[in-house]
Amino acid sequence: LSIGSRNIGIKDVAAAAGVSVTTVSHVLNEVTSARISPETRERVRSAAGQLGYGPNSVARALRTSRTALLGLVIEDAGRNPHAGQIVLGADEAARARGYNLLVVNTSPSAGPEARKADVESLLMRRVDGILYAPRHPGQLPAPPTFRNVPTVLVNAAGTQNGIPAVAPEEESGPRAAVGCLLGAGHTRIGFISSGGAASCDGANFAEGAAGQERAGGFPAALAQAGFDGGAGPVESGQPDERGGYAAARSLLDREDRPTGLVCHNDLMAMGAYRAAADLGFAIPRDLSVVALADHGLIAANLYPALTTVALPPAELAARAAGILMDTLEGTAGTNLSAGPAAGPAYTLIARGSVAPPPDAATPRGNF
């Protein structure tokens, strides 16, 4: 009785309603050009309902040569902590417009021929478009087969090979983080950055190129607030707990130690927490911390809970899917070969790790 359960086809409905298959098709697809009497409509509708008819999208796809399928290629889904969010965001956007998601994992460690096969399995399925979510934004093997099917990159650092991409405005992250700290009254703010792309085969998502951009945004954000370079000491390390610990130690051992810390991600913030504890600094009383990425599970479970400046990956994926579908439907004037789409900005998730600096008489804002 449930939709699609039996081999009930359009002609069964037609027979039951006493009309032709054309009429059924027209009614069910709400074809505007076809003028059908209301009572016939109703008859068809109820017959379809009675029989539990559901359209066979395979047949429809064969006929129209549109599958309404979006291929989603996820690099290293097993280790990408945002894989679930990406699927969620893309799926919601897709289903809202009648599409579905065909998902394949692709392993960066696999050879080029294997990776090519990953994408070709989607092409064999005749997906209408492809969403490609790289593990590290900024790098992209880009199988040549992309050429044939409209493709949009999810969270890649800008347009690659002429393929459009949806990426966050990376500088907005440091800006928001620095702003949060400045607002709390801090004037000496340190930055713990990711130590370059070389060390980035670890567990984190947005390293590599993104690391550079985040780091780049930091002095800019400070300068914009009227501070000179000395106000913002920077240390970098591996984008994990150890790296964060070492960098934080360097920063906090200084004579003019910062009272606020911006960390590249929450793993590095974990290290900063430990460094602070080792040195006898309480967070947030003696030291405030903000991280530039939110692994959810981690930030919320640190003690005190970590304030972050996050970019919901689901949002990114949903936007990419939207752009892709616009292109497929020719809806947008936006040509796919146009420049990179403006990505969403980071937003602050205030938790418990920011307070006024210890020597501040009066805080300068809310936090």
Interacting residue ranges for a second copy, rule: CB under 8 A: 2-6, 54-59, 61-62, 67, 69, 72, 74, 77-81, 83-85, 87-89, 91-92, 95, 100-105, 120-126, 144-145, 147-148, 203-204, 240-241, 245, 267, 270-271, 274, 277, 295-298, 300-303, 314
Could you tell me how many residues make up the chain? 367
Region from 5-13, 110-118, 134-142, 351-359 binding DNA, contact rule CB under 7 A: 5-13
Q: Is 18 in the site for DNA (CB under 7 A)?
A: yes
Strand boundaries in 100-174, DSSP class E: 100-106, 129-133, 151-154, 165-167
Distance CA 4, CA 52 (A): 7
| Smallest distance from a second copy to CB 126, Å | 5
- One character per residue 29-58, x = contact with DNA (rule: CB under 7 A): x-x--xxxx--x------------x-xx--
Do 113 and 92 meet the contact criterion of CB atoms below 8 Å apart? no
| Smallest distance from a second copy to CB 77, Å | 4
Contacts of 311 (CB under 8 A, 6+ apart): 168, 173, 293, 294, 344, 345, 346, 347
Q: Residue 40: name its binding partner from a second copy, DNA, none (Cβ under 5 to 8 Å by kind).
A: DNA
| Smallest distance from a second copy to CB 313, Å | 9
Q: Residue 9: name its binding partner from a second copy, DNA, none (Cβ under 5 to 8 Å by kind).
A: DNA
Give the number of residues in contact with DNA, rule: CB under 7 A: 29
Q: Residue 274: name its binding partner from DNA, a second copy, none (Cβ under 5 to 8 Å by kind).
A: a second copy
Pick between residue 145 and residue 212 the one whose CB is nearest to a second copy: 145
Contacts of 239 (CB under 8 A, 6+ apart): 194, 195, 199, 200, 202, 204, 207, 211, 264, 265, 267, 268
Among candidates 364, 317, 330, 358, which has minimal Cα distance to 93? 317
Do 269 and 244 meet the contact criterion of CB atoms below 8 Å apart? yes
Residue recorded with tokens 């020719």: 330
Q: Is 10 in the site for DNA (CB under 7 A)?
A: yes
Pick between residue 88 and residue 338 the one whose CB is nearest to a second copy: 88
Pick between residue 57 and residue 139 the one whose CB is nearest to a second copy: 57
Do 87 and 102 meet the contact criterion of CB atoms below 8 Å apart? no
Pick between residue 60 and residue 79 the one whose CB is nearest to DNA: 60
Q: Is 20 in the site for DNA (CB under 7 A)?
A: yes
Q: Which of residues 50-109 bind DNA (CB under 7 A)?
A: 53, 55-56, 59-60, 62-65
Q: Is 9 in the site for DNA (CB under 7 A)?
A: yes
**How buried is residue 342: exposed, middle or buried, by Cβ count under 10 Å (0-12/13-18/19+)?**
exposed
| Smallest distance from a second copy to CB 291, Å | 13
Question: 191: helix, coil or strand?
Answer: strand
Q: Is 25 in the site for DNA (CB under 7 A)?
A: yes
Pick between residue 63 and residue 335 the one whose CB is nearest to DNA: 63
Do 299 and 348 meet the contact criterion of CB atoms below 8 Å apart? no
Question: 260: helix, coil or strand?
Answer: strand
Distance CA 168, CA 269 (A): 21
Contacts of 237 (CB under 8 A, 6+ apart): 192, 194, 195, 243, 244, 246, 247, 268
Q: Residue 303: name its binding partner from a second copy, DNA, none (Cβ under 5 to 8 Å by kind).
A: a second copy
Pick between residue 120 and residue 329 the one whose CB is nearest to a second copy: 120
Q: Residue 10: name its binding partner from a second copy, DNA, none (Cβ under 5 to 8 Å by kind).
A: DNA
Read off the tokens for 128.
């209408």
Residues that bind DNA (CB under 7 A): 7, 9-11, 18-23, 25-26, 28-29, 31, 34-37, 40, 53, 55-56, 59-60, 62-65
